[in-house]
Amino acid sequence: MSKQITICGDLHGKFDDLLVILHKNGLPSAENPYIFNGDFVDRGKRGLEVFLILLLCFIAIPGAVYLNRGNHEDIIMNQRYGFIREVQSKYKKNHEKLLKLIEGVYRYLPLGTIINNKVLVVHGGISDSTDLEMIRSLDRGKYASLLRPPLSDSSAPGSEVINKVEWKQKL
């Protein structure tokens, strides 16, 4: 088990900042793990590079990197804050396919990381009305965007209400 863990927030497409952090604080490893606490993309020019390097670390170095979903890991946010334009300009032919894949990855990013069963790290913090048990029980793959509630996939009475209550917990 590592002695320390580094929590890093809101890179927002600043690839140079990521490199400086890794240079000064050391490359991610099981002994030097990082939590990247969401908002990898939008605003900066190199969101794709940031996100791909983080995903690569996640896959290539087990236990080195934990990735939380921020409010910008959301395809509708990306339309407003620049990441869609970035991907379109870098991948003129394949941007649609790539963005579909990215949307799929967003759905499976966890909302939070728990350190030593004591500290919960989430991008937006929690409020008085946050129901941690409900968050634990969420099927996170259901949510492509926090800005639009999911369509109810059941015609059972009340199912849409439940979905909206669940969805609100994520805001």
What does DSSP assign to residue 154?
A: -
**Do the Cβ atoms of 9 and 37 come closer than 8 Å?**
yes
Give, as one character, the DSSP assignment of residue 156.
Answer: S
Residues in the chain: 171
Q: How far is the CB of 16 from Mn ion (least distance, A)?
A: 17
Between residues 10 and 73, which has the closer beta carbon with respect to Mn ion?
10
Residue 42 interacting with Mn ion (CB under 5 A): no
Q: Per rule CB under 5 A, is residue 86 in the interface with Mn ion? A: no
Closest distance between Mn ion and the C-beta of residue 63, in Å?
A: 26
10: contact with Mn ion by CB under 5 A: yes
CB-based closest residue to Mn ion? 39
- Range in contact with Mn ion (rule: CB under 5 A) among 17-25, 37-45, 145-153, 157-165: 37-45
**Nearest residue to 64 via CA among 106, 5, 15, 116:** 5
The type of residue at 25 is N
Minimum CB separation of residue 149 from Mn ion in Å reads 22
Tokens at residue 143, please? 């949510």
CB neighbours (10 Å) of residue 91?
Answer: 14
DSSP state letter for 141: G
Which among 34-42, 54-62, 82-90, 136-144 is the span making contact with Mn ion, rule CB under 5 A? 34-42
**Shortest Å, Cβ 78 to Mn ion:** 13
- Contact residue for Mn ion among 14, 18, 39, 47 (CB under 5 A): 39
Active site residue: 12, 23, 72, 95, which one?
Answer: 72
The answer to whether the CB of 28 falls within 8 A of the CB of 57 is: yes
**Which tokens belong to 157?**
């009475």
Active site residue 12: no
- Footprint of Mn ion on this chain (CB under 5 A)? 10, 39
